[in-house]
Amino acid sequence: MNTAINIRQLSHSFGNRAVLRNLSFSVTEGDLFIIIGPNGSGKTTLMRAIAGILKPQRGEMEIFGRQLSNYKRKEFARSVAFVPQGLPIDFPFTVAELILMGRAPYHSAFGIEQKKDYEIAKQAMRFTEVEQLAARKLDQLSGGEQQRVFIARAICQESQILLLDEPTASLDLAHQVRIMDLMEKLKTEKGVTVVMVSHDINLAAMYSDQLLLLRDGKIVCMGLPNEILNFSTLEETYNCKLLVDNSPLGNLPRVTVVPYKFLK
């Protein structure tokens, strides 16, 4: 298996607060790679560094064996697509317009779409089941629909690596599963390497090939869900009372938080 992302000794701090401390890990091509960790553990900063938005102060990063600095802007955009935690909808573009924006790294001057761009956009819409929303304005969509449209835009970018920052946050159960199933489908059908940040440990355990547990900008552990999601590690990392047992779905860990009133 090839390495999609290789990170060596990555460090970054905001002022004198270290957010990422000497991180080294790699993501295998075609994996669904999920980063978990408590608030303020540096997940989003790490994601922004991989997306090329934030330039880390120290360390090296390779995408498909090439240094990040060796990529041209558009070339990098054709390799890595990013879905941030929500997009501004003050200027309501239609769903179709937004998804077509994903073709930007392939445009020449003036940004005029070709026939091929429309085809790829249609495919992305079919893949994410948002075709019927094409003419709607972004601000007329529900949270779940918006998230699928944002993902369709990223798919339209045809990058081999897809980064997502908490794509299931603030969605109901059905939509969470729908988004995660979509990621699974993207991985198996298109061979895309998916890297995402998540707060939902159980969802992460069910879908991920590799889990990275982050705390205070350091890697606590990394591996298969049932290797690393154990009671002692989690309780120490999240600093709260937890139960870890087996999921009824099979050999998967299930994490339950224990509220104070049950601790007697």
Residue pair 39/214 in contact (Cβ under 8 Å)? The answer is no
* Residues numbered 150-169 forming contacts with other proteins, rule: CB under 8 A: 157
Using rule CB under 8 A, residue 116 touches other proteins: no
Amino acid at site 43: K
Reference 179, options 128, 120, 237; nearest CA is 128
- Residues β-bridged to residue 163: 82, 195
Neighbours of 161 (CB within 10 A): 21
Residues 117-136 binding other proteins (CB under 8 A) are 118, 121-122, 125, 131-132, 134-135
**Cβ of residue 246: shortest distance to other proteins, in angstroms?**
39
Q: Note whether 97 binds other proteins by CB under 8 A.
A: yes
**Closer by beta carbon to other proteins, 3 or else 85:** 85
Residue with smaller CB distance to other proteins, 107 or 178? 107
Q: How far apart are CA 18 and CA 218, in angstroms?
A: 10
Question: Counting every residue, how long is the chain?
Answer: 264
The 3 state secondary structure assigned to 126-153 is HHCCCHHHCCCEHHHCCHHHHHHHHHHH
| Cβ 173 to other proteins shortest distance, Å | 27
Q: What is the CA radius of gyration of the chain?
A: 19
Please, what is the minimum distance in Å from the beta carbon of residue 208 to other proteins?
23
Q: Which residues pair with 195 in a beta bridge?
A: 33, 163
Give the HSE-up count for residue 87: Cα atoms under 13 Å, Cβ half-sphere.
22
Each residue 183-222 as x (binds other proteins by CB under 8 A) or -, in order, gives ----------------------------------------
Taking CB under 8 A as the criterion, the residue among 29, 64, 101, 242 binding other proteins is: 101
The answer to whether 52 contacts other proteins (rule: CB under 8 A) is yes
Tell me which amino acid residue 40 is.
G
Output 25 or 93, the one with its CB closest to other proteins: 93
Smallest gap from Cβ 90 to other proteins, in A, equals 6
Residue 217, sorted as left (phi over 0), alpha (psi -120 to 50) or beta, turns out to be left
Q: Can you tell me which of 34, 51, 161, 214 binds other proteins, judged by CB under 8 A? A: 51
Whole-number Å distance between alpha carbons of 117 and 81: 16
Question: Which residues within the stretch 70-89 sit at the binding site for other proteins (CB under 8 A)?
Answer: 73-74, 76-78, 80-82, 84, 87-88
What minimum distance in Å lies between the beta carbon of 30 and other proteins?
21
Q: Are 241 and 235 in contact (CB under 8 A)?
A: yes
> Is the Cβ of residue 121 or residue 205 nearer to other proteins in the bound state?
121
Binding site for other proteins (CB under 8 A): 48, 51-53, 73-74, 76-78, 80-82, 84, 87-88, 90-94, 96-98, 100-102, 104-105, 107, 109-113, 118, 121-122, 125, 131-132, 134-135, 157
